[in-house]
Structure 1
């Protein structure tokens, strides 16, 4: 894999924290920063994928009403805890 240089400015406090962690873990500051950036990107990519999937489902027009969700949530922790509600608002034209 080809590597590229990326330059960024960080606060003095963040640099001190990075240096302390680097020393404590016997890893380079560069390796730690690369790992942190990889974790950040992976997390946000998953969030974007989830949002895109939710928008796609919403665009289909089938929704669960507030009332159905509220009733389901009220059942949590009770002897009559219900299953997740099915869509009860259906878009008629697609």
Structure 2
């Protein structure tokens, strides 16, 4: 397991310490969990954006009729 040093503002460290005490987990565990959750979310978003760019580059767009039908289905005007 790797060790990483991170500088945190005092208020964030205090929240982290309070959470650790309330849950019986270490600050390191919570920090590691927070980083893991953040990375999962960000990597998912980057992958989705890359996929959308590839689809756009391939010309894979919804037609005007498909968009209008979806808008009507949602109850929105499709002007």
Quick check: which one's helix share is greater? 2
In structure 1, runs of 5+ residues without a counterpart are 79-94
After TM superposition, where is structure 1 displaced by more than 3 Å over at least 4 residues in a row? Answer: 65-68
3-state DSSP of counterpart to 1:32: helix
Q: Which residue of 2 aligns with 1:59?
A: 57
Determine which of 15, 19, 23 is the counterpart of 2:17: 19
In structure 2, runs of 5+ residues without a counterpart are none
Q: Which residue of 2 aligns with 1:72?
A: 70
Give the TM-score taking structure 2 as reference length.
0.82
Give the TM-score taking structure 1 as reference length.
0.70
Quick check: which one's strand share is greater? 1
Higher relative CO (Cα under 8 Å, sequence separation at least 6) belongs to 1
3-state DSSP of counterpart to 2:2: coil
Larger radius of gyration: 1
Residues paired across the two proteins, number: 76
- C-alpha RMSD over aligned residues: 2.0
